[in-house]
């Protein structure tokens, strides 16, 4: 089965919940377990929060969220046209954050890696950031044993 959806919304924190629920609702077609839904929701929340806080630094902007279902795999793309990042590898280091004063834990990417199978990040300063995450649904047990699946930069 192939199916795709795309939503665009304002970079406002109130929409983080909307983004999670939208993806979760779309994902039900793959008959995911509750745990799989929760994993995907957490990863979506991290990516969308990053776009709002870091991409747009709480300024106005749009976040584009796409979700592609192909066979038993879900791909989620979270895109912003914000400030972008010069050093993606550094940004993905656990506990690294550019905003400690806002009590950012620096664990956003680590969570995405832990809860999804794969994550790709493309970013260009001044242009924005695109995060692509993939997860196989119905695989089970148990991708979380070692904390993460494959990851690439």
Partner 1 sequence: MECKYQLKEGCMTITMPREVDHHCAEQLRKEADLLINAYRIHKLIFDFSGTEFMDSSGIGVLIGRCKSMGYQNGEVEAVNLNARVQKIFVVSGLHKLIKVAKIQTGI
| Catalytic site positions | 46, 50, 104
CA atoms of 52 and 75, how far apart (whole Å): 20
Radius of gyration of the chain (CA): 15
The beta strand positions in the chain, using DSSP E, are 2-10, 62-70, 73-80, 118-124, 128-136
- Residue 145, interface with partner 1 (CB under 8 A)? no
- Residue 52, interface with partner 1 (CB under 8 A)? yes
- Residue 13, interface with partner 1 (CB under 8 A)? yes
**Closer CB to partner 1, 49 or 132, in the complex:** 49
**Closer CB to partner 1, 99 or 124, in the complex:** 99
CA atoms of 103 and 14, how far apart (whole Å): 18
CA atoms of 78 and 66, how far apart (whole Å): 7
Residue from 11, 32, 41, 149 that binds partner 1 (CB under 8 A)? Answer: 41
> Where along the sequence are the contacts to partner 1 (CB under 8 A)?
13-14, 16-17, 20, 35, 38, 41-42, 45-46, 49, 52-53, 102-105, 107-108, 110-111, 114-115, 144, 147
């Amino acid at each position: 089965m192939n199916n795709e959806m795309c939503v665009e919304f304002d970079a406002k924190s109130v929409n983080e919940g909307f983004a999670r629920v939208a993806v979760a609702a779309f994902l039900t077609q793959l008959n995911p377990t509750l745990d799989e839904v929760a994993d995907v929701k957490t990863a979506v929340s991290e990516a969308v929060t990053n776009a709002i806080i870091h991409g747009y630094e709480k300024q106005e902007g749009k976040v584009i969220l796409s979700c592609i279902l192909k066979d038993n795999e879900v791909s989620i793309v979270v895109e912003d046209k914000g400030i972008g990042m010069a050093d993606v590898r550094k940004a993905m280091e656990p506990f690294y954050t550019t905003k400690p004063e806002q009590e950012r834990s620096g664990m956003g990417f680590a969570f995405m890696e832990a809860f999804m199978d794969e994550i790709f990040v493309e970013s260009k300063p001044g242009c924005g950031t695109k995060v692509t995450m993939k997860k196989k649904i119905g695989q089970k047990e148990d991708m979380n044993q070692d904390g993460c699946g494959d990851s690439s930069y």
